[in-house]
Every structure is written in structure tokens, then in C-alpha cells.
Amino acid sequence: MFSSLSDKLQGIFHKLRGKGKLSEADVEACLREVKLALLEADVNFKVVKRFISRIKERSIGQEVMKSLTPAQQVIKIVNEELIELMGGSTSRITLAPNPPTVVVVIGLHGSGKTTIVAKLGRNFSKQGHNPMLVAADIYRPAGIKQLQVLGESLNIPVFTMGDKQSPPNIVNASKRAALKQGCDMVLVDTAGRLHIDDEMMEELRQIKKVAKPNEVLLIVDAMTGQDAVNIASSFNEQLGIDGIILTKLDGDTRGGAALSAKEVTGKPIKFIGTGEKLDALEPFHPDRMASRILGMGDMLSLIEKAEQTIDRERAEELERKIRKAEFTLEDFLEQMHQVRNMGPLDQLLGMIPGFGKIKNLDVEVDEKQLDKIEAIINSMTIEERRNPSIIGGSRRRRIARGSGTNPSDVNQLLSQFFKAKKMLKQLTKGKFPIGIG
């Protein structure tokens, strides 16, 4: 996400750092380039104008121009203003003082409301809540069935009255059902339209009147750029929303919607969708997003993903094995599975400070290569995985045939594994050789 904008901004600031002392003209030239980069990223023109004006006002001041590192001061100001632009701080869901908390999810047809409702259910379940999903979209063929299938996969109850009752009646009945079943959250999936119309808005007003929701969350497709912000503004003016969920931020999006939405609507982005899987929904952190955009990484999100995915006991056992040089191909395969479960590797690398420029370093994250490695290890016997040193020529040929690869691929994997194992052993003994890495 934001790869193009991030690359451009990092290039601009790299040139700025090379200047040492800055003149007012240097700052002006830099901000012209930043302005162009933001406009190309489809950020709202008025938002860009105000944003650049605030940075300029702060940057051309005595404390910046006369500091020892003026370029770093300007970058710090841009970072702070980016955070403020996207909402300043993380905006959380408002919980009802007396359960259930009611969250109504709205949006245009095709925005992914049903899947987002399920993702929210999973998210809140992980936090210790007991949610109920409500099928109030009675118009879309198989919409109710889709929510039921998703709910079943997550072991979350789904309330439905079929497609004969009106959506307001369904929502009203769902609140009573939630109290009976001990559910402390009601997540309502509503119908969408191809465009905003009076009929759609009237139905949503009736649902809102009956539901008395704690949150009305609008789903917006980040791929639609400025249209996303216009849609959010219309929904907010006609219905009143409490927050925005931006989806498809893992796609080829220019980022304008994320940078414009809060400033234009006055409503915070509360969640972002970063993929199709049910775990690909994250709380939106303006400070972390600004850090990613400026190529500073996002270690906090990376650590949170690791904590959710990687088994602590297995990690401690792995550390013990490394220290005793007992690390095997079985352990390697298990770790590879756990890391891949955290998400696409290019996204993970983008969270590590300095790796935002990975494309510029001609380093490619090849998921197919990892599939090949997994196939090779799976073609080995248990004994071979635990003691790779026994793998000779005939075994290598057999493993290659079984994995659909060449013996040279098997040789390469084993060579890399033995080198890594040797390096890890030296590292744990404090004898890391100079020149490696």
C-alpha cells in the first residue's frame, strides 16, 4: 500500500538530506514536489493545499532553519502533519455501557460489507467479546447464506429471519435474540446499492432508528480514490456515520482515500482491510501508517502480527535448539509456515525500518520460491529432515523427483541450510564472523 507515494516522498527527502543547511528556497522546492506527489496519489486538492500550508508555516521558522539537522526537522514536521491528517490517534469502537453494543455496517454494493462484518466478528471474538452477526441484507441473492457460512467458519452465531421480513424488523429482533443468547455485540450486515439513492437511505435511516447503534461504520473501497471520499461525504451528510473502514489497501491503491477521508468528512478511519482472508482486518493507526509512508517501517504492527501467529512455547523451544545446534529442516519448515501465516512477505518486509526501499534494492520476495522449498522438504523422510547430513546423491535425486524440482534445487537448499545453521551457532557463541550479512 502507498508504494508509489512512499517511493516519491523518500526520494524527495533523500535529496533534502544531502543539502546540509537549508534555505527557504530549498524548503519551497521540496514542498512543491511533496504537493505534486500527493496530488498524483489522488489526495483531495483542498486537503493537499491545507496540508502543505501547515508544513510550510512550521518549516520556515527559526527553530528549523537554524537547527543542526534542518532536513530531519522538516521530515519530522511532515511525519507529525501526516499523522494529524489521518486522524491524530487511533479511534476505537464505542462500546455500549449496557450490552449489547450495536454496530451497523453500511456501504455501496460490492464494497465487501458481508465479509467485513465477519472480519469484525473475528476481531472482537479475539478480544474476548461474544458477537452475533445479523443478516439484514435481504435483497442480494445468497447474501444471507454467505454470512451464515462465514459465521459457521468462525464459530460465531448468525441471526436471520430469511428474506421476507423487513430489515428494520430483523435488526430489532436481533437485539432481543442477542440478550437471550448472552451476546454482547450485534454486528449488522445491511444491503448496498450500485449508487446512493433515496430508497437506500430511507431504509438505512429506519434501521438506524430501530437499532440505536453505538457505531455506524461505512465501508469504502480505497481503490476508487477520490470517489471513495465523495461517497463517504454523501453518506455522512445524509445518514450520519461514526467511522470508516477502508478496504483493498493491499491492492494497487494510490492512497488518496486514506489521506483525505478524515479531513474531508471529519470522521475517523477505524479499520483497514489488507487482504481477502478473514484475519486481514487491522485497527487503523495514523502514526504507524505515516511511518510506513515515509519508509520508517511499522515494527509495532509487525510485533502484533507475530504475537498473534507465532506460538510462544515453540519459539522458546526453537531458541533452545539453535543454541544447542539442534536446529533441523523440520524446525525450518515450521517457522516458515508461521511467518507466512502472518501475511504476504512483501507486506511484512515493508514494516521493517529500511526495507521500504526493497524494490529499489532489486530484492524480490518470491512466494513461489518458498513453495518450492516447502515441496522439497516435504519430499524428504522424517530422518532426512532431522539429519540432512545423510542426504547423498541418490537421496537428492529421489527428493527432486518427489518435489518436481531439480537435484540442483535440493543442493542449493541444503547448502543454504548448513550455512545458516553454522552462522546461527557462531552467533549464539558470540563469534559472528566479520563480512557475513
The reply to whether 112 and 232 lie within a common domain is yes
Which of 284, 302, 320 terminates a domain? The answer is 302
Phi/psi at 188 (nearest 5 deg)?
-100, 125
Q: Quick check: is 91 in a domain?
A: no
Say if residues 258 and 230 touch (Cβ distance below 8 Å): no
Which structural domain, as residue segments, surrounds residue 128? 101-302
Report the SS3 class of residue 83: helix
The reply to whether 266 and 139 lie within a common domain is yes
Q: Quick check: is 12 in a domain?
A: yes
The reply to whether 378 and 358 lie within a common domain is yes
**Domain containing residue 402: CATH number:** 1.10.260.30
The reply to whether 64 and 207 lie within a common domain is no
**Nearest residue to 379 (alpha-carbon basis) of 393, 399, 397, 394:** 399
Say if residues 111 and 183 touch (Cβ distance below 8 Å): no
Summarised one tens digit per residue, pLDDT across range 148-162 is 999 999 999 999 988
Q: How many domains does the chain have?
A: 3
Q: Quick check: is 94 in a domain?
A: no
Residues with Cβ within 8 Å of residue 269, at least 6 apart in sequence: 86, 87, 91, 243, 244, 245, 246, 258, 261, 262, 284
Residue type, 385: R
What does the alpha-carbon distance between residue 321 and residue 328 come to, in Å, rounded to a whole number?
A: 9
Which of 32, 59, 85 terminates a domain? The answer is 85
Which of 85, 116, 132 terminates a domain? The answer is 85
pLDDT higher than 70, residue 117: yes
> Which ranges of 294-381 does DSSP label H, i.e. alpha helix?
299-309, 312-323, 329-341, 345-350, 367-378
Q: How many other C-beta atoms can be found within 10 angstroms of the C-beta atom of residue 181?
A: 12
**Nearest residue to 214 (alpha-carbon basis) of 325, 302, 326, 99:** 99
User: pLDDT grade, residue 317 (50/70/90)?
Assistant: low
Torsion of CA 282, 285, 289, 290, to 10 degrees: 180
The reply to whether 267 and 222 lie within a common domain is yes
Give Rg (Cα) of the chain: 26
Say if residues 109 and 195 touch (Cβ distance below 8 Å): no
Determine how β-strand 185-189 pairs with β-strand 131-135.
parallel
Q: Quick check: is 248 in a domain?
A: yes
Report the SS3 class of residue 101: strand
pLDDT higher than 80, residue 424: no
pTM greater than the 0.85 cutoff: no
The reply to whether 316 and 398 lie within a common domain is yes
Higher per-residue confidence, 259 vs 347 = 259
User: What pLDDT shows up at residue 133?
Assistant: 95
CA 187 to chain centre: 21
The reply to whether 162 and 256 lie within a common domain is yes
The reply to whether 329 and 383 lie within a common domain is yes
Q: How many other C-beta atoms can be found within 10 angstroms of the C-beta atom of residue 201?
A: 16
Summarised one tens digit per residue, pLDDT across range 284-308 is 888 888 877 776 554 455 545 555 5
Summarised one tens digit per residue, pLDDT across range 58-100 is 887 666 656 557 777 788 888 888 889 888 888 888 898 888 9
The DSSP secondary structure of 132-150, one letter per residue, reads EEEE---SSTTHHHHHHHH
What does the alpha-carbon distance between residue 387 and residue 381 come to, in Å, rounded to a whole number?
A: 10
Q: Quick check: is 49 in a domain?
A: yes
User: What pLDDT shows up at residue 10?
Assistant: 79
pLDDT higher than 50, residue 7: yes
The reply to whether 169 and 282 lie within a common domain is yes
